[in-house]
Amino acid sequence: MATGINLEKMSLDDLKKLRGDVEKAIKSFEARQRKEARKALEKVAKDYGVSLDEVVGGGKSSKRTSKAAPQFRNPNNPDETWSGRGRQPAWYKQAIAAGNSRDDLKI
């Protein structure tokens, strides 16, 4: 599709402005496409008697996660704790290697 624009004769500033205008036009086009697609999907979901969010599980996840309570404390620095989940912190490994038991480090 020829637009009749001669890019060779445009200045650098004009080319940059054109590029910006094209990027804005593309984003606007994509947003319109998404909006139209959503409307079509909502209509189909409504025909089945459900909402689109029910179909795709939209919104926030119902699964709640919470930070695990600390179970172990560094005897050399009480500010350092570990929940017992995930990777063992270096201070925990060092304390075990030094002869402490898990029970010694329990809070």
Predicted confidence band at 98 (pLDDT cuts at 50, 70, 90)?
very high
Does 76 lie in the same domain as 52?
no
Q: Is residue 39 part of a domain?
A: yes
Q: Which residue has the tokens 């925990």?
A: 92
Average pLDDT over residues 72-89: 92
Report how many domains make up the chain.
2
Residue 37 CA: distances (Å) to CA of 6, 46, 50:
35, 14, 17
Return the pLDDT at 11. 95
Whether pLDDT at 2 is above 80 = no
Do 81 and 52 sit in the same domain of this protein?
A: no
For residues 18 and 44, state if they share a domain.
yes
Q: Which domain covers residue 21, as residue numbers?
A: 11-56
Same domain assignment for residues 47 and 76: no
Determine if the pTM surpasses 0.85.
Answer: no
* Per-residue pLDDT tens digits for 29-64: 999 999 999 999 999 999 999 988 888 876 566 566
Say if 67 falls within a structural domain: no
Examine residue 88 and state whether it is found in any structural domain, yes or no: yes
